[in-house]
Amino acid sequence: MLLRVVASLSQFPAHVPQLLTSTVIQCAKAKMKRSALQHAVTLMQPELRGQLAPEHRRKIENLVRKKEDMCVGVVVRVCV
């Protein structure tokens, strides 16, 4: 359900960081590694990083840092 909501983030501009944070956490718990990484990278962009909740910041930063371990054999395109 969260993946569908995140697909249309433009309809919820005031809640973008909260929705992405929830999506990353739930995808990581559900072993949906590709989706978790994709949304974590989006959340780590400079315009959203400052709005990230402090209690989740470390977990999401570690997820992005350790993306090589998560995506063995998976092609991930990160646009910087």
Q: What is the pLDDT of residues 41-71, one digit of tens each?
A: 999 999 999 999 899 999 999 989 887 665 5
Which contiguous run of DSSP H or E holds residue 19? helix 16-29
Instruction: Give a yes or no: residue 75 inside a domain.
Output: no
List b or e across 35-48, with b for residues whose CB sees 16 or more CB atoms inside 10 angstroms.
bbbbbbbbbbeeee
Query: The domain containing residue 26 runs over which residues?
Result: 2-70
Q: Do the domain assignments include residue 51?
A: yes
Amino acid symbol at 13:
P
Q: What does 31-61 look like in DSSP terms, one character per residue? A: T-HHHHHHHHHHHTSHHHHTTS-HHHHHHHH
For residue 37, being part of any structural domain is answered with yes
Please write the tens of the pLDDT for every residue from 1-33.
Answer: 888 999 998 999 999 999 999 999 999 999 999
Assigned domain for 57 exists: yes
Is position 80 within any domain? no
22 is a domain residue: yes
Q: In the chain, how many domains are there?
A: 1
Global confidence as pTM: 0.77
Has residue 79 been placed in a domain? no
- Counting Cα atoms < 13 Å in the Cβ hemisphere of 20 gives 24
In a domain, 38, yes or no: yes
